[in-house]
Amino acid sequence: MRRRLSLSFELPAAPAEVFAGLTSYARLIDWVPGLRSARVLAREGDIAVLELVTDGTAADPCQSTPQAQHGRAEAPAGSPLVLEIVETMPERLSFTQVDRFRGDGVSGTCELRLAAPDADHDSDRSSRPTTALDLSLSFECTAIEWLGARRAARHRLEAAGESLATRLAGPAAESPGSDQETAPTRVLEIRRHGEQLVLFIDGQHWRLEPVDRS
């Protein structure tokens, strides 16, 4: 049976900056707990094929329970998880596992939107843009398998969300007792999507088209 897991996070950055962080695939190992390597196997426009290798977690989340190993192809510990990711800048990522075992596999979406300012927070925090991230996962497993898989997946994803939030907040969030004001780290990133160049600068993005197409 197909099971679903939904999580929501608030991240201290504009949606375009969060999108740039999520799609900087080579840097995922810096903030995703348990991730050993991440590399792009292929890219065509806004579609990327990504290979992820964890520190021993099976590719199928339901294979983390003993019951899941009965009657199902088992993935070796630390085996790659290959995802096809469709990028819709800067508000959506859709992903599907393409190396599925017997038709099972992970799929889902990641939706980004600008969150409304929170009047209860201090003025400095409320002046920052905040992104609401809604993550939805779907995978095949039985009801018994789901009991263990849901808790493990939620714990790992919540840890990744906290790590990403700290990374986006910059050095100032890591040392709140410091008297010196430190601006968050900003990254300039340039990517090519078809015939366009996409620039991410200070949490915003621009699209550039060639002047001469000949």
pLDDT digits (tens, 9 = 90+) for 50-98: 999 987 644 445 444 444 444 444 445 567 889 999 999 889 999 999 8
Residue 33 near residue 27 (C-beta atoms within 8 A): no
Tokens at 60, concatenated? 């199928």
Phi and psi torsions of 4, nearest 5°: -125, 145
* Matching residue, tokens 């599925």: 100
**Distances in Å between the alpha carbon of 185 and those of 12, 32, 127, 203?**
12, 19, 17, 11
Residue 210, pLDDT score = 76
What single-letter DSSP state applies at residue 104? B
Residue 100, pLDDT score = 65
Counting other chains too, the contacts that 169-175 makes at CB distance below 8 Å and 24 or more residues apart are: 169/12, 169/13, 173/12
**Closest CA relative to residue 164, chosen from 135, 141, 122:** 135
Exposure class string for 123-132: b at 16+ Cβ within 10 A, else e: eeeeeebbbb
What single-letter DSSP state applies at residue 179? S
Query: Model confidence at 199, in pLDDT bands (50, 70, 90)?
Result: low
How large a percentage of the chain has pLDDT more than 90?
33
* Cβ partners under 8 Å of residue 179, min gap 6: none
Residue 154, pLDDT score = 85
Say whether 23 sits in a helix, a strand or coil.
Answer: coil
Domains and CATH numbers, the chain: 2-183 (3.30.530.20)
CA dihedral 31, 56, 23, 92 (to 10 degrees): -110
Report pTM: 0.70
Q: What angle do CA 197, 89, 117 make, to 5 degrees?
A: 125
Query: Sign of dihedral through CA atoms 30, 31, 32, 38?
Result: negative
Say whether 214 sits in a helix, a strand or coil.
Answer: coil
